[in-house]
Amino acid sequence: MPKFRDLLERGGKTTFKPDKKHGTLHRQSLSQLTKRTLGSGNLRAAVECPTDDDLNDWLAANTVDFFNEISLLYGLVVDDAAQYTQPGEGFPPSFEYRWGESNTKKPIRVSSPEYVDYVMTWVEDQLDNEAIFPTLEEEDFPDDFLDYIKDIFKRLFRVYAIIYHRHFHVFEELDAQAHLNTCFKHFIFFCIRYELITDEKELAVLDGPIKHLKEEYDEQGDE
């Protein structure tokens, strides 16, 4: 199996969903700022909203970037995920995520690849909804924008949980586990900074790594 770096250099990057673009030039510039800060290796600084900038714009720009990142990561394990075909299969041990939207009375049982497809399609729909993610600079974000962001991040976190518990060996074979871990660390640092996932029951699926990352986040704040 080729290494992850080889795939990127050959242009073989495969995303689960097509990359999403930023709705405004300002959000695109914020995304570029994040990438430059990430390049410095300081992940805590990379999640900090620039001084005097709009927090909603910052949240929107990073949500698009995290969606694209997770789409790439899951795209690497799609073939491996195909072995899970029955409802309830392919989830972390002792966990089973069921799919349902807010207007669904009873969530349905699905396999993990079906669940991820539902999640990513749903997030894509949110990002395309201009009532939630406005594409004109003069348009305001909805008053409950943070609630949308929290719901998106909770579901994207579950995709990470599935990847780590069921498909980590794929990243080891690609020699890409360091890349996965860095992406996850950035994601969790962002969640910690803006309190996007606070339910301990939700985080328990990756309790050990989460505890370590929280400690590291705090340590970087003391430097």
Give 92-143 pLDDT, tens digit per residue.
Answer: 999 999 998 766 668 999 999 999 999 999 999 999 999 999 998 889 999 9
**Which pLDDT belongs to residue 124?**
96
What is the second-level CATH architecture of the domain 4-222? Up-down Bundle (1.20)
Mean pLDDT of 142-168: 97
CA distances 165 to 119, 127, 185, Å, are: 18, 27, 16
Q: What are 126-133's contacts with CB under 8 Å, separation 24+?
A: 126/152, 127/20, 127/63, 127/64, 127/67, 130/23, 133/23, 133/60
Q: Which of 141, 153, 165 is nearest to 198 (CA)?
A: 153
CA distances 181 to 59, 70, 133, 188, Å, are: 21, 12, 28, 10
Residue 11: pLDDT above 80?
no
**Which pLDDT belongs to residue 6?**
59
pLDDT tens-digit map of 158-186: 999 999 999 999 999 999 999 999 999 99
pLDDT tens-digit map of 55-78: 999 999 999 999 999 999 999 999
What percent of the chain has pLDDT above 70?
91
Q: Where are the domains of the chain?
A: 4-222
Mean pLDDT of 7-16: 59
**17 vs 191, residue with greater confidence:** 191
Radius of gyration of the chain (CA): 17
Helices 55-75/145-166 angle, 10° precision = 20
Residue 9: pLDDT above 60?
no
Residue 223: pLDDT above 90?
no
Partner residues linked to 99 by β-bridges: 108
Query: How does DSSP classify residue 71?
Result: H
**Which pLDDT belongs to residue 33?**
85
**41 vs 94, residue with greater confidence:** 94
